[in-house]
Amino acid sequence: MKTSDAAMACPDNKTAADLMAILPDTAQVVDGHLHIDDVDMVALAREAGTAVYVMSEPHIRKQLQDYRKWMSYHWDDVDIVYAGKAFLSKAMARLVADCGCSLDVSSGGELAIARAADFPPERIYAHGNNKTTAELAECLDAGIGYIVVDSFEELDRISKLASQRGMEQTVLLRITPGIAADTHDYIRTGAEDSKFGFGLNQGLALRAVRRALELPGITYGGLHMHIGSQIYALHSFAAAIEVMVEFMLQIRDELGVDTCLLNTGGGLGVAYGVPDDPATIKDYGKVVVDGIKEACEARGLATPRIAVEPGRSVVANAGVTLYTVGTIKEIPNIRTYVSVDGGMTDNIRTSLYQAHYEAFIANKADQPRSTLATIAGKHCESGDIVVSNGPLQSAEVGDILCVPATGAYCQSLSSNYNKQVRPGVIWTADGAWRWVVRRESYDDLLRCDVG
């Protein structure tokens, strides 16, 4: 069940101890303060400053290890491809490599971070519906493993660039399986009307495979799909897998080619609110791996190498954002605004598509959320809201406010609106903390301004 605003329209008297399902695995309440990895979040916030993203390194590592464990439980030939768009830094790229996983990049900038971290290029997958010629050249020159192709124009560009270099580039063809996943319209990507991939109607996808087989400089490596993000209903994945394996059969029968790799994308949902109940990685792995194996066996196909691309489910609950309460404004009979030193520049998801978040006061973590408050940002927009009319402890100016489940897509989507400097990212582990992305300064804002 997904969290509804109606379910959160009254104080719930929960303490931080009741919110552990949406916090890092290592979170606990000690002497009234929130601790993560034995680090006091209140002391950290007052030393490092706010707003700030804090992420648990052990939590991230465990999620990647769980994906490797449960995806390979029934089939050895599986590749876990972390989706860098969720959160990427040099430290994150190194952690992904250390866990034996691959990396999905969606821009030249993400590729540049991966290369700066010395990520093994053969384990990089490049995505994007409109990769520029320069970005494709960067991928080829870096020697990455796979380019996920999104259009006929892109096939031609890769062929030309690879031929000029006297090389072969392995590609996956992104297919839109026509499955309308159970998620928000803005993060649904696998339906027929999508800017991504080749549709199966009118034989477009089969034409793309044929074209990839014919063009010089290109090796057909397999297929890719992605039906959306924040998906709770595993039957959406099962339905898409049936479509993709049937297409693999068509490719074999009509083109005489076996598909050696099937990448099913990502999209597993996470818990943002207490009532949220997403599927486990174990259950997801069973649906994907067993689904592909059974569908292939039913059609007389060999089971291909399987790849998945988790992002949000690796880092979302590993992270929290810490703010300092600045002003409190009570509007009688309407609502109470608790304003913090951040907002839509560090978390645009609420404004963008009404994403739901919880909040609590980290220095009152053992106290019940006995009031209702709207957590407002500091920016010049009425829609600059982090949490709308949610339960909160009684707030005071100077309190350290914590918003859980912000490890995915918050830092990645952050901006400099109102010329706000972006928060830094802190990782915690074993009772210590360190910066992995420093906080921006005014000098950073001015660095590209040439006057």
Mean pLDDT value of segment 411-440: 98
Q: With helix as H, strand as E and coil as C, how does 163-212 read? A: HHHCCCEEEEEEEECCCCCCCCHHHECCCCCCCCCEECHHHHHHHHHHHH
Model confidence pLDDT, tens digit, residues 7-55: 447 999 999 999 999 999 999 999 999 999 999 999 999 999 999 999 9
CA distance 367 to 394: 9
Q: Are 388 and 5 in contact (CB under 8 A)?
A: yes
Q: Are 358 and 339 in contact (CB under 8 A)?
A: no
The pLDDT, as a whole number, for residue 182 is 52
CA distance 354 to 8: 14
What are the backbone dihedrals phi and psi of residue 327, each rounded to the nearest 5 degrees, phi first?
A: -135, 155
Q: Which is it for strands 335-340 and 371-376: parallel, antiparallel or unpaired?
A: parallel
Model confidence pLDDT, tens digit, residues 215-247: 999 999 999 999 988 898 899 999 999 999 999
Mean pLDDT value of segment 198-205: 91
Say whether 349 sits in a helix, a strand or coil: helix
Point out the least confidently predicted range of 47-56, 155-164, 222-231, 406-415.
Answer: 222-231
Tokens representing residue 164 in the block:
């000029």
Q: Are 172 and 263 in contact (CB under 8 A)?
A: yes
The pLDDT, as a whole number, for residue 195 is 81
pLDDT at 132 over 80: yes
CA distance 36 to 429: 8
The amino acid sitting at 18 is D
Mean pLDDT value of segment 295-305: 97
The pLDDT, as a whole number, for residue 228 is 87
User: How many CB atoms are located within 10 Å of the residue 386 CB?
Assistant: 28
pTM listed for this prediction? 0.94
The DSSP letter of residue 355 is: -
- Cis bond upstream, residue 181 (ω within 30): no
Q: Which is it for strands 400-404 and 319-331: parallel, antiparallel or unpaired?
A: antiparallel
Model confidence pLDDT, tens digit, residues 372-399: 999 999 999 999 999 999 999 999 999 9
Q: For residue 278, is it left (φ>0), alpha (ψ between -120 and 50) or beta? A: beta
Active-site annotation, residues: 380
The pLDDT, as a whole number, for residue 4 is 40
The pLDDT, as a whole number, for residue 202 is 84
- Report CA Rg, the chain: 23
